[in-house]
Amino acid sequence: MKITLFNRESTRTPFIQLNTQKCKACWKCIASCSNQVIGKVDLPWHKHALIVEPDSCTGCLNCIDICNFDAYSVSDEAKQKTKKHRKHTFIIFLINNLLLVSGLVMVISGLVLQLGFHLGGPQGHQIDVHEVQSRSIQYEQVREIDTNKIVCGFNYPDWTKIHKFAIVFFSLLMIYHTYAHWKWYKGVVTKHLIGKNKQVIILSVLFLMVASTGLVPWFIHLSGGLSVLRIIFIEIHDKLALIFAIYLILHLIKRNKWFIVNHN
């Protein structure tokens, strides 16, 4: 590359920039650069360092550390990249923590609904098939759920609302999470690494199944659809949710160091 005193590339790389007016021609920076990025103008009346191979710079910043005259500094381009990287890292950290919180709320509220209400009805009650198939029959009546029962300060409708909100919020976060890690998912498939990432893949599939079987009954209820179909979806949702909760806990345990490192 042709170097001139008016060439912008002779004073900067993607990582560092050089102020030739501050340079005292001690040449320490040249000796410290293992990639031969830095050269020099060594005329009797004009001496200073300059960048001769900007594309070879790896951003080690040794030149900044060794220069006693502050001739080198981090480039504006690198500052912008660092700022964007920090912003992206913060967003990912925030999303992952919101996923953690909403996931726990979803699992806990789901367990409360199952253990506190779904399993709490009288035993031995027989439901007539025609009664179940009736469009007017309610799920609470079929399962003999006491909607006025209080568990941890909330009744059945309250816990249902909390659970539905957690599912919707968790689903939206998971959509963004999947979008942000789409290259990883694509790489796992194209590079045939599914076997090494079974836990994450199974968790992702379980999430889709749990979310869909949890939202479909809601839509059936709002549209006035057949109650028997709603009951079937809720039963499937309950069983899948338990498996999903186990995999989610294992996933969080496996990645607990990420939360600790990024929190610090």
Distance CA 180, CA 96 (A): 11
Q: What is the mean pLDDT of the chain?
A: 78
94, pLDDT greater than 50: yes
**Residues 66-72: what's their mean pLDDT?**
92
Q: What percent of the chain has pLDDT over 90?
A: 12
Kindly report, residue by residue over 164-205, the tens digit of the pLDDT: 888 888 888 888 888 887 887 888 788 777 777 788 888 888
Which is more confidently placed, 114 or 155? Answer: 155
CA distance 94 to 78: 24
Which of 2 and 95 is assigned the larger pLDDT? 95
pLDDT at 208: 84
Q: Please tell me the number of Cα atoms within 13 Å of 196 on its side-chain side.
A: 8
Confidence tier at 122 by pLDDT (50, 70, 90):
very low
67: tokens are 């220069």
pTM for the predicted model, two decimal places: 0.53
pLDDT band for 257, please (50, 70, 90 cuts).
low
Average pLDDT for residues 3-30, to the nearest whole number? 79
Distance (Å, whole) CA 99 – CA 243 = 18
**In this predicted structure, what is the pLDDT of residue 5?**
45
Given a cut of 90, is residue 29 above it in pLDDT?
yes
- Give the DSSP letter of residue 149: -
The per-residue pLDDT for 34 is 85
Average pLDDT (21-39) is 91
Mean pLDDT of 93-98: 84
For residue 124, what pLDDT band results from cuts at 50, 70 and 90? very low
Angle at 73 between CA 72 and CA 76, to 5 degrees: 135
- Summarised one tens digit per residue, pLDDT across range 204-225 is 888 888 888 877 877 877 787 6
Give the C-alpha separation, 75 to 191, whole Å: 36
Ramachandran region, residue 61 (left: φ > 0; alpha: ψ -120 to 50; beta: rest): left
**3-state secondary structure (DSSP) of residue 120:** coil
H or E segment to which residue 140 belongs: helix 139-142
Q: Give the number of other CB atoms < 10 A from CB of residue 210.
A: 27
Predicted pLDDT of residue 118: 64
- Strongest mean pLDDT among 21-25, 150-154, 177-181: 21-25
Indicate if the pLDDT at residue 131 is higher than 50. Answer: no
Of all residues in the chain, the percent with pLDDT exceeding 70 is: 80
18 phi and psi, to 5 degrees? Answer: -115, 130
Among 67, 70, 66, 55, CA closest to 14: 55
Better-predicted residue by pLDDT, 151 or 123: 151
